[in-house]
Amino acid sequence: MTPSTVLPAPASTPAPALRTPAPAPAPAVVSAQLALADDLLSILRTSTTEPRPDEQLEALTLAVAADLPVLLWGEPGIGKTAALTQLAASLGLPLTTVIASVHEPSDFSGLPIVGDDPARQGVPMAPPQWAVELVRAGRGLLFLDELSTATPAVQAALLRVVLERRVGALQLPKGVRIVAAANPRASAADGWELSPPLANRFVHVQWVHDREVVVRGLGGVWPRAELPRLDPERLTEAVAFARRSVCGFLEARPTLIHRLPSTETRRGGAWPSPRSWEAAMTLLAFGTAADVSRDVLALLVRGAVGDGPGLELLAHLDRMDLPNPETLLADPASAELPERGDLRQATLEAVVSAVGARPERERWEAGWAVLVRALETGAPDLLVAPATALAALRRDDWEVPEAVERLAGVIGLARRADRSVHRVTPIGAAHSAGTRR
């Protein structure tokens, strides 16, 4: 019989030693570390500003100076809120931020408060605290954020706030400016299209990031927001120019006085109405008095009445600045023509129209002299249309001036199709031959 194998008893596993928790840091140490964290955050958030060309910021400050509500459109995280914070600090205005999407309509129209005798005294609409604080301050920048996520009921309540500056029964002071921000519906959280009545109360500015501005700003230096410097001697002239420009344009394009877009998306942006044309006229006056660039003025005008009408108005302004055709006809040799091709061609067409309005031989010959002047100072291809039109104005008893020969070799007047123009070349050749003899 095999003796049984005696297995050794398993070694006993020692019980794990209980770890003693580290002693909690003293409250003084915690406070010191938090203070250091605050110091680090303060250093990170410290920045300065510098004068730097920024068309977006210049357009925004001009509209704020003109006391027009501005709506900044841009993707999330593009820096709209940061720009408004910096703007308020630069202008020395207290900033009041109201997130429109988290408020009820009564927060803008006021809460009804029943008094002792409502039948006699009525029921007043009590304003919210932020409106009361703005009135107490007498000035400030009201920032309505996340406007495109506000429900239609809230948008309706905002109508009087934006246009009449009334919150419930409270009238906001004149020193309060209004700026709003919104994301396009595709990138907004539960976004809504803006209602046409609310959209038409704003100057719409597309806010996009600029790589150099962002990089330099993250480095601690942002563009400085400065109010436009209005020339006190040009105020009356600026108003007269703005009125003449808008009124003259609408007389020529009366169908653009009021044009509600057909699509819901476009109704939530800028479109022409008497209200928005008044805003455009105000912006023109301020832009003229401040002598802003054409690009800044284009941003604002298009933001008030829409891209199409805005561009047409800007083209009308260019035509207003064209030289007087009668002045050019009076002294063609010293005529100063615009350098821009479109303006130069419009000027030459105006000269031809002036000759056609009062066709006389001397004026017709002066018109050719203006075209020669244009040939000497610019591109010849712009002369084809006005030269053809001017040739068509010739009367049978008018001799062809020598200027026609100078132009014919360059612009190809021989290709003209008009009957009267066909007569120019043989007559001009005979005249030239007679001169040589």
Q: What is the pLDDT of residues 88-110, one digit of tens each?
A: 988 889 999 999 888 888 888 87
Distance from C-alpha of 154 to C-alpha of 143, rounded to nearest angstrom? 15
CATH fold group of domain 50-111+125-223:
Rossmann fold (3.40.50)
The domain segmentation of the chain, as residue ranges, is 50-111+125-223, 233-320, 325-436
| Residue 224 structure tokens | 């400085």
> Under 8 Å CB-to-CB from 198, ≥6 apart: which residues?
155, 156, 158, 159, 162
- By the 10 Å C-beta count (0-12 exposed, 13-18 middle, 19+ buried), 76 is classed as exposed
Which residue matches tokens 């003693």?
20
- One DSSP character per residue, 240-259 reads HHHHHHHHHHHHH-GGGSS-
- Over residues 182-224, the pLDDT tens digits come to 988 766 666 788 999 999 999 999 998 888 888 988 898 888 8
Give me the pLDDT at residue 11, please: 56
3-state secondary structure of 8: coil
CA 68, CA 114: separation in Å to the nearest integer?
35
User: What's the pLDDT at 421?
Assistant: 44
Tokens of 254: 């009366």
Q: What type of residue sits at position 236? A: T
Q: Are 128 and 91 in contact (CB under 8 A)?
A: no
| pLDDT value for 114 | 66
Count the Cβ atoms, other than its own, within 10 Å of residue 413. Answer: 21
| Rounded-to-integer distance, Cα 71 and Cα 196, Å | 14
Q: 145: buried, middle or exposed (CB in 10 Å: 19+, 13-18, 0-12)?
A: buried
Q: What is the dihedral of CA 290, 295, 299, 302, to 10 degrees?
A: 110
- pLDDT of the residue at 227: 85
Give the H or E element holding residue 305. helix 294-305
Q: Retrieve residue 435's tokens.
A: 């001169």
Residues in the chain: 437
Contact 355, 393 (CB under 8 A): yes
- Which residues, in sequence order, are bridge partners of residue 139? 175
What are the start-end ranges of the E strands in 200-273? 203-206, 221-223
Residues paired with 49 in a beta bridge:
222
CA distance 163 to 167: 11
Q: Which of 365, 364, 327, 367 is nearest to 348 (CA)?
A: 367
* Residue 143 contacts residue 180 (beta carbons within 8 Å): yes
Which parts of the chain have pLDDT scores under 70? 1-22, 114-123, 186-190, 409-437
Rounded distance between C-alpha atoms, residue 37 and residue 39, angstroms: 5
Whole-number CA gyration radius for the chain: 35
User: What pLDDT does 435 receive?
Assistant: 42
pLDDT at 420: 46
Dihedral angle, C-alpha 143, 192, 269, 290, nearest 10 °:
10
